[in-house]
Homo-oligomer: A and B are copies of this chain.
Amino acid sequence: MRVTQASTGRKIIAAAERRMRECGFHGFSFRDIAADVGIKSASVHHHFPTKEDLGAAVASAYTKRLMDALGDPNDPVRMPEDLIELYVDLYRRALQKGKGRQTCLGGVIACELASLPENVARAGVEFFESSAGWLEAVLRRRSPQAEPEATRAQALRILALLQGATLIAKTLDREDVFEVVAKSALE
């Protein structure tokens, strides 16, 4: 069994991600994070001087974790159909792991966009671009002869569907809403 190092910096990022996905960027404070981790707020500032630094670190770690979990969209060993299922499954597991209380970080950034520090907003753009790009590559493999615009549209459709499904499932506290909607992403 592999033990992953949980340094204080990582614990802070994990706590901030959870808070951000439950409450939004303006919905938590350095003191909240400090209490979650079991330290004082001044110590949080030692690791991430400003809230912008913390938010940007959370968002880029989030994107990296997702992209690492997805892997190479052109990996010949994996079928495009399986990769799309993998994509849907990552959203499903994120919802379950957060007990239906967390939305995708991309959605959070979208909703607060105009009030976010520059680097956090930019990380949101990168998240959506990475996600859409990965899906596009997978769909291109599945239908190589399709029009590029149609492939792009299909990628955005899947992304939008999962984003929306997560929002609704969270608000109505009905994880089955996610399942019902996600099924149509595979069509």
| A positions within 8 Å CB-CB of B | 22-28, 101, 103, 106-115, 124-125, 128-129, 132, 149, 152-153, 156-157, 159-165, 167-168, 170-172, 177, 180-181, 183-184
List chain B residues, Cβ under 8 A from A177: 156
Q: Which residue of B lies closest to A170 (CB)?
A: B110
How many Å from the CB of A174 to the closest CB on chain B?
A: 10
Q: List 10 A-B contacts (CB under 8 A).
A: A22-B115, A26-B26, A28-B115, A101-B114, A111-B111, A149-B180, A153-B180, A153-B183, A157-B184, A160-B168
A165, closest chain B residue (CB) = B160
Residue of B nearest to A184 (CB): B157
Decide: A184 and B113 in contact? CB cutoff 8 A.
Answer: no
Contacts of A128 in B (CB 8 A): 168, 171-172
Partner of A110, one of B26, B129, B159, B171: B171
Closest B residue to A173 using CB positions: B125
- Chain B neighbourhood of A172, CB < 8 A: 125, 128-129
In angstroms, how far is the closest chain B Cβ from the Cβ of A166?
8
- Of the candidates A129, A167, A170, A183, the one having the most CB atoms from chain B within 10 angstroms of its own CB is A167
Q: Which 6 A-B pairs have the closest CB atoms?
A: A160-B164, A27-B115, A23-B115, A26-B26, A163-B164, A164-B164
Alpha-carbon gap, A27 to B113, bound state (A): 9
Closest chain B CB from A31 CB (angstroms): 14
Interface pair A164/B171, CB less than 8 Å apart: no
Contact B161 A110 (CB under 8 A): no
